[in-house]
Amino acid sequence: MRIEDVYIWDINAKWLGITPYQLMENAGAGVARTIEKRFGTGLRVAVFSGTGNNGGDGFVAARHLSFDNDVTLFLVGDEAKIRSEEARHNWEILKGLDFVEIRLLKDSAYVKSLDLGGFDVIVDALLGAGTRGEPREPIRSAIEKINEYAGRAKIVSVDLPSGYPSRIRVKADFAVTFQWDKEEYGGFERVIVKIGYPKELYHLVGPGDAKFALRKRGEHKGQNGKLLIIGGSGDYYGAPYLASKGAGYLVDLVYLAMPSEPAKRISDPDLILRPIEGQNFSPGHVHELLSIAQKVNAVVIGPGIGLAEETKEFVREFIKRCEKPMVIDADALKAITEDLSVLNGKTFVLTPHAGEFNVLFGVKPEGSLMEKAEVVKGEAGEVGGVILLKGAYDIISDGKTWKYNRTGNRGMTTGGTGDVLAGLVGALLALGNEPLRAASAGAFLNGLAGDMVKEELGENFTALEVAKKVPHAVRWVMEF
């Protein structure tokens, strides 16, 4: 698990009704319990809090410790900067107590003159997962002040030694970290306390996953992704159009490559049409499509592309030579069934429904969610990429871990919602997301858009309405 997952879990926990207040209370209580288990009670404790949620955990720990110990809370920084509701709430509680001494250290001058000689334990709740760069004043002086007492007082860090990973960091005896270890942490002892997360958070896709996937937008100015969608056949143009409609809300540019006949039916200024000669894609088009693919960040291939022999050959040849992350959807899945080796070394997301999964891998995922997830995980490991198995619960796996998505409803069985989904996953790949994140967040957004349409129209709606609801789903996620 990575530090980023802390924030994704907190958002998803809130979505499940577990509030940040509860998490902070459990975190702070866990710190206090660990300290008393290690050092007993009747201690003189100094808690150093910053103005973020790491500091908030410190406020809670100070309150819990104050019952059987003598606690002084040092707030390092300006109390007006205490940001989150949960940290402010716990700060107000502390200020209302009489037996916890509070010292406000607004700048480094106050810090430098401190004498901490009388304390048995120093709790470091200055900086945690929100640290950006080298510690700045007055936090920096507080770290240096605490380190003067290393070896004399016991030093316990909340979540991680403040300043980590820079060299200016608290020399902690150990850190109390929450729920699980973080792979970025190293070089200091950690005690892990659980803070009330249910096991679902390992697997359930929530607004946290989508928020972090969408955050890639605007990360590199003007590079909000370019996507190529390859699909359509004969007079079949609905599927690739739907895929591009949803995607168009997430990326800057969508190229839509389809046979010239159906292409004439599309007059949408948001799309850059790339009509190709003939009724269907065929091997003679590979070179032309590869050169368009050069200009984009990701490719969706398959919606409505058809099953003509020449088209299946085109699909296999294109995939074999395309160097961009790809979503392989619908009829393109049937084309690669004959030769999965075209996927070797590629970055891709396969988006089968149960029937296509069975055709691809010769096995029908059946049984409980866990059992189906194991099957999808096994096949994803075999094929060396991400599989998004669409269903009442979508199951997503990269062969190492697995996720499931609960958004969406029965109305989504209407034709074309799978095309919208393929477009969204492609767009999230084009924004720079890893395939597992792109597939998970795409499934979440597609289902959420469908749930929003159902709210308005009941269960009979078209896929185009789902595509048009994508901006509302994005806004809901970003505001959550």
- Which residues sit at the interface with ligand LP7C6HRI, rule CB under 6 A? 6, 9-10, 23-24, 27, 50-57, 127-136, 139, 158-159, 178, 195
195 versus 396: smaller Cβ distance to ligand LP7C6HRI: 195
C-alpha 263/C-alpha 257 separation (Å) is 8
365: partner contacted, choices ligand LP7C6HRI, K ion, none (Cβ within 5-8 A by kind): none
- 414 annotated as ligand-binding: no
Burial of 406: CB neighbours in 10 Å, binned 0-12, 13-18, 19+ = middle
Is 131 labelled a binding residue? Answer: yes
Distance in Å, CB of 21 to K ion, minimum: 20
User: Is 28 assigned a ligand-binding role in the annotation?
Assistant: no
E strand or H helix at 274, and its extent? strand 271-276
Q: Which does 176 bind (CB under 5 to 8 A by kind): K ion, ligand LP7C6HRI, none?
A: none
> Is 439 annotated as a binding-site member?
no
| 3-state SS track over 108-161 | HHHHHCCCCCCCCEEEEECCCCCCCCCCCCCHHHHHHHHHCCECCEEEEEECCC
Q: How far is the CB of 62 from ligand LP7C6HRI (least distance, A)?
A: 14
Pairing mode, strands 386-389 and 394-397: antiparallel
Binding residue per annotation — 353? yes
Of 139 and 296, which CB lies nearer to ligand LP7C6HRI in the complex structure? 139
The binder of 6, among K ion, ligand LP7C6HRI, none, by C-beta within 5 to 8 A per type, is: ligand LP7C6HRI
Residue ranges binding K ion (CB under 5 A) = 54, 124, 128, 157-158, 162
Pairwise CA distance, residues 313 & 270, whole Å: 30
Site of tokens 């959420």: 448
Secondary structure of 310-379 in HEC code, one letter for each residue:
HHHHHHHHHHHHCCCCEEEECHHHHHHHCCHHHHCCCCEEEECCHHHHHHHHCCCCCCCHHHHHHHHHHH
Residue 134 assigned to a binding site: yes
- Which of ligand LP7C6HRI, K ion, none does residue 157 bind to, with CB < 5 to 8 Å depending on kind? K ion
162 binds, among ligand LP7C6HRI, K ion, none (CB under 5 to 8 A by kind): K ion
Measured from the CB atom, the residue of 20 and 128 that comes closer to K ion is 128
Q: Are 41 and 70 in contact (CB under 8 A)?
A: no
Binding-site members for AMP are 418
Binding-site members for K(+) are 54, 124, 162
